């Protein structure tokens, strides 16, 4: 601690760990602590389960994993014998009382305290009760003469009174390690959660949040603090790694932080775009793919995914492939080529006429006497999927799949065809959100984006009627309601769990609502087989919405 015992310099480490890379995470923590030491920090606060990565899911059931985490943190504790910053480190800990989501507080070359998470979340993307044991109500940690409360993430979100208990037992500052995933508007939600605890306890609160993509979850950082007077003390950046040292002073009314940096928080389409970009970048890089490949059809979904890939990874790491058939329009051929040229990525054309005709010929005897329809259309999609997977196998490129949430909701996608792929950056975006995000990208380059400025998605792609081009003069709205209507119905059904009657009261046709509800239910088996993708809404398919495949319920 600084010589003045009424001053405490706290570093907030908003970093991007790799789940399971315990040695790498330890190295990152050591580097951050050294940086904090250079800035004369007394204490550095890491995020929830930082040493393991979050959420570790069933990895924590593996004893060797737990042992490796504790070994790493004990090594880190020895570093603190140098008199530099103490450490609050998130770790999964096995103790006689059970397996805990915990923190270790490190100082003077040793572990000076352990605290366990009390309120284990068991909703949406969280299922911690499945693997962790709830801890007892914690008391504050005496760190160099300052009593610090360390509630862990959900401990400030729930109603178990963890923060009140800490305040009643003498805590002076609340330092909260978090693993709080992104969805649109989440920063305001966190403010309200934190403010409630500040008001109830009368204590200042530091909210340190993880950064980075972990499968379908995006941790957006945006760490912050409130003083006890309910004023925002500082706001860290969103979607970017950052280490910030803050100065806290003890006065007559307790501890407070002077006016700190106030980073701008992105909103709307910018926030969604940066979340999708971060999710794709981390999925590709953390899983060791050197580059990606996608089918560039001349449509809006593949175009925005191509832009995201170039922004996330760079133009040299994207191969775009146009795979035309008899129904591919001249406009689509030109639009795809223009999009690839604007983005600067590699562009190949692989016609699928011969593969599709080969399938049709081989199946001719079996299909004889039947009427052509969706089966033949799906052969086109599956031929394209096979080509992309062949390129993936040959060159080690990950296939980016490009279906939006509107399509995935109603099953407007082909298994083993356009659903082929390793990751889908727009999986949780409805069609109208895709359009809005595309228009935003043509006017802006996202912070940290590696792509060019100016128009990167041809205006014709945005303005033309969407079509899978699987038959002559086909448009999506031959079989679906207009996307503004469809998206409102779907958001009502999926995000808000509204009844058919309630949705009809919003002005929608009952028959249309009932049909969309039916399509939503019967497409569940497809979604179970789909690639993971970025979560940007409050309720994505997979972790948040777990519906049975076999399901005869209809809201009639």
Instruction: Flag whether 88 is marked binding.
Output: no
Residue closest to 240 by CA, chosen among 402, 14, 477: 14
Residues 450 and 310 sit within 8 Å (Cβ to Cβ): yes
User: What number of CA atoms fall less than 13 Å from residue 130's CA on the CB side?
Assistant: 12
Instruction: Flag whether 525 is marked binding.
Output: no
Longest C-alpha distance within the chain, in Å? Answer: 90
Task: Please pick, among 48, 270, 377, 491, the residue that the annotation labels catalytic.
Answer: 48
Instruction: Flag whether 298 is marked binding.
Output: yes
Instruction: Flag whether 526 is marked binding.
Output: yes
- Give the residues across from 98 on adjacent strands: 95
Residues 493 and 520 sit within 8 Å (Cβ to Cβ): yes
| Beta pairing class for 43-45 and 7-14 | parallel
Task: Please pick, among 28, 69, 70, 117, the residue that the annotation labels catalytic.
Answer: 117
Instruction: Flag whether 297 is marked binding.
Output: yes
User: What number of CA atoms fall less than 13 Å from residue 460's CA on the CB side?
Assistant: 13
Q: 507 Cβ partners below 8 Å, 6+ apart?
A: none
Which helix (H) or strand (E) covers residue 519, if one does? Answer: helix 510-522
Instruction: Flag whether 230 is marked binding.
Output: no
Residue closest to 208 by CA, chosen among 228, 198, 194, 188: 194
Q: Residue 339 catalytic?
A: no
Task: Please pick, among 28, 70, 128, 153, the residue that the annotation labels catalytic.
Answer: 153
Instruction: Flag whether 300 is marked binding.
Output: yes
Instruction: Flag whether 407 is marked binding.
Output: yes
Alpha-carbon distances, residue 450 vs 116, 316, 410 (angstroms): 41, 10, 34
Residues 418 and 295 sit within 8 Å (Cβ to Cβ): yes
Instruction: Flag whether 402 is marked binding.
Output: yes
Alpha-carbon distances, residue 374 vs 363, 371, 378, 381 (angstroms): 15, 10, 6, 11
| Beta pairing class for 217-220 and 211-214 | antiparallel
Instruction: Flag whether 180 is marked binding.
Output: yes
CA–CA distance, 421 with 495 (Å, rounded to integer): 25
Map residue 121 onto helix, strand or coil.
Answer: coil
Q: Residue 163 catalytic?
A: no
Catalytic positions, written as ranges:
48, 117, 153
Binding residues for deamido-NAD(+): 378, 407, 526
Binding residues for ATP: 295-302, 402
Binding residues: 123, 180, 186, 295-302, 378, 402, 407, 526
Binding residues for L-glutamine: 123, 180, 186
């Amino acid at each position: 601690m600084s010589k003045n015992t009424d001053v405490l310099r706290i570093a907030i480490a908003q970093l991007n760990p790799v789940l399971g890379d315990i040695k790498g995470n330890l190295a990152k923590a050591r580097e951050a602590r050294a940086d904090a030491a250079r800035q004369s920090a007394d204490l550095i606060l890491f995020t929830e389960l930082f040493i393991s990565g979050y959420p570790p899911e069933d990895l924590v059931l593996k004893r060797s994993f737990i042992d490796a985490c504790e070994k790493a943190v004990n090594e880190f504790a020895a570093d603190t014998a140098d008199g530099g910053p103490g450490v609050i480190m998130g770790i999964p800990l096995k103790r006689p009382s059970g397996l805990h989501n915990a923190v270790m507080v490190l100082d003077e070359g040793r572990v000076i305290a352990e605290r366990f998470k009390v309120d284990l979340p068991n909703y949406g993307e969280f299922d911690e009760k499945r693997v962790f044991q709830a801890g007892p109500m914690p008391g504050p940690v005496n760190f160099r003469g300052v009593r610090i409360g360390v509630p862990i993430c959900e401990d400030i979100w729930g109603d178990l009174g963890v923060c009140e208990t800490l305040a009643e037992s003498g805590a002076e500052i609340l330092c909260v390690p978090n693993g709080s995933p992104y969805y649109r508007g989440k920063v305001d939600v966190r403010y309200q959660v934190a403010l409630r605890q500040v008001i109830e306890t009368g204590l200042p609160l530091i909210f340190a949040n993880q950064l980075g993509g972990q499968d379908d979850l995006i941790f957006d950082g945006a760490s912050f603090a409130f003083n006890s007077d309910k004023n925002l003390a500082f706001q860290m950046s969103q979607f970017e790694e950052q280490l910030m040292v803050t100065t806290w002073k003890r006065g007559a009314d307790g501890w407070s932080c002077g006016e700190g940096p106030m980073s701008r928080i992105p909103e709307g389409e910018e926030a969604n775009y940066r979340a999708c970009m971060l999710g794709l970048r981390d999925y590709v890089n953390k899983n060791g793919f050197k580059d990606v490949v996608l089918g560039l059809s001349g449509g809006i979904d593949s175009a925005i995914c191509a832009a995201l890939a170039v922004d996330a990874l760079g133009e040299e790491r994207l191969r775009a492939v146009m795979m035309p058939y008899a129904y591919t329009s001249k406009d689509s051929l030109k639009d795809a080529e223009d999009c690839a040229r604007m983005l600067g990525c590699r562009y190949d054309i692989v016609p699928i006429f011969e593969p599709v005709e080969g399938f049709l010929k081989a199946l001719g005897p079996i299909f004889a006497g039947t009427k052509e329809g969706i089966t033949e259309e799906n052969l086109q999609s599956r031929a394209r999927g096979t080509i992309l997977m062949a390129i993936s196998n040959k060159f080690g490129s990950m296939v980016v799949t490009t279906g939006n949430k509107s399509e995935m909701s109603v099953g407007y996608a082909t298994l083993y065809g356009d659903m082929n792929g390793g990751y889908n950056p727009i999986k949780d975006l409805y069609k109208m959100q895709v359009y809005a995000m595309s228009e935003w990208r043509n006017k802006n380059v996202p912070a940290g984006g590696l792509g060019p400025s100016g128009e990167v998605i041809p205006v014709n792609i945005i303005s033309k009627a969407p079509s899978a081009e699987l038959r002559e003069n086909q448009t999506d709205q031959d079989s679906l309601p207009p996307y503004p209507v469809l998206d409102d119905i779907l958001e009502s059904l999926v995000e808000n769990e509204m009844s058919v009657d309630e949705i009809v009261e919003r002005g929608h046709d009952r028959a249309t609502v009932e049909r969309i509800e039916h399509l939503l239910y019967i497409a569940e088996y497809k979604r179970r087989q789909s690639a993971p993708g970025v979560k940007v809404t409050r309720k994505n398919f997979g972790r948040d919405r777990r519906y049975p495949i076999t399901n005869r319920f209809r809201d009639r």
